[in-house]
Chain A
């Protein structure tokens, strides 16, 4: 227990230091939302990797590897990796403007409603983001609560309210605080999962023994449950079936490049090339995180053939840590899992609060406020939303990794076409954006509720038909809407329109010299 306390104390001290530093650094709205569009490569890789590796990866994916076998590698690990590979396609265009949008909904406004005083589209996207990120923060809180309470014995409810403090410490400083703490979190996560996988590797006798067990075991996932079919854990389809696995892969992959937090992340780097290299570097770093997680998830089946009745597969990591790892490794792994939850939750909390306050409230009310007021109100929003996410986590509604699939699928269904066509098709216009977002979101929810195996594919197909009809039955997009994403030099009218959009909600402070 003493090791857990020592490691945690160091961790908390760093979080507070990073936040205080960030509070001094972040002065403008740009600083607060996207780090002033001047993020360097190393910090960019640190923050991207940490945001990528959430509690759904560290806790949920080993859980699915344990219950469904290697198919989870295709569904989640390869699915997210393929989605990540597509992010540079977005980065290549969206980071082109000299003064890019500050938020994802603001990009939607730039691209589709540049002349509107109050953008309904920006508000709709802001509301959809708010709902999605509230649920994603909720997943992080739940994951943290499960792990922390299982390992330390502290009550689950107490643990999740404790987590509130962690995410508030790292979120109130804005983007720079999130980025700085994320970089440390990436190191902690990597060290934690490498150590834990080393212990599992040694205890199981290596990969040969793990594969041999997976090939022959019929032990049920949960004690008292139905026995597994022999060899199913090594089958590429696992316990999912082709349709379900394809749906998981496609939701995780195509949902990723159009998820608002990844689009916003591509607005933070100092230029297009840094944004592209940032993703390539992150995918390299992830080998050292996902590889060990695969060993942990599959190796756990050798050590613990069945999970005790009454627990879900999300408990497999806490069970392994509790029963098989030395205290120091357990302590570091626990901090690594907390770091994964915190680093994703703080980033998503920032997006959630920004979308609600900046893209919905300030946009609709047309209020003009100072940078200082913006930051204070945003901090209050973060506090309120974090509290709601924690209260919702008292009775967790879903499995961690699958919750991510649903929300990524929803984001992909609503935003995939709008993002990709908006960046690569000049003809894509306002009517197409309304049709794409509305049809995609509604059809995804309906298809999911009706129990279709591939709701994402159905929603995107319906959305594409709607977009094409809307685009070809209305006027072309104006030059001012698409020019910044297609040309290096823009016309005066486009420059004027972009400045009007940027200054519509707050009094922009003077440009500041480089920081960080």
Chain B
């Protein structure tokens, strides 16, 4: 049971890490049309 639940939790953690990295890449690009606002999780 622990292995199954940890697999799920692991995929969620992976999702947040990957999403954060991609948001960082958007910010680094500086392209406003892609959603760059100057702050990592801020959006317009």
Contact = CB atoms under 8 A, between A and B. Distances in A.
Contacts of B11: 78, 81-82, 85
B4 A287 contact: no
Contact of A74 (B4, B15, B18, B36): B4
A81 B43 contact: no
Given A78-B4, A89-B18, A273 B33 contact: no
Contacts, number: 93
Given A70-B4, A73-B5, A74-B7, A88 B34 contact: no
Interface of B: 1, 3-5, 7-8, 10-12, 14-16, 18-19, 22-23, 25-26, 29, 31, 33-37, 41, 43-44
Nearest to B17: A85
Looking at chain B's contact residues, the main secondary structure is: helix
A277 B43 contact: yes
Interface of A: 41, 70-71, 73-74, 77-78, 81-82, 84-86, 88-89, 91-92, 95-96, 98, 211, 214, 234, 236, 270-274, 276-277, 279-280, 283, 287, 290, 488
B8 A85 contact: no
Contact of B34 (A70, A82, A290, A488): A488
Contact of A89 (B1, B22, B26): B22
User: What is the interface of chain A mostly: helix, strand, loop, or mixed?
Assistant: helix
11 contacts: A73-B7, A81-B8, A81-B11, A88-B18, A88-B19, A234-B1, A236-B4, A236-B7, A271-B43, A274-B35, A283-B15
A81 B16 CA distance: 11
Contacts of B31: 488
Contacts of A82: 11, 14-15
Contacts of B41: 277
Given A70-B1, A273-B23, A85 B15 contact: yes
Nearest to B13: A85
A287 B8 CA distance: 10
Contacts of B12: 81, 85, 283, 287
Given A273-B35, A274-B43, A280-B15, A92 B22 contact: yes
Contacts of B5: 70, 73
A290 B43 CA distance: 27
A89 B21 CA distance: 10
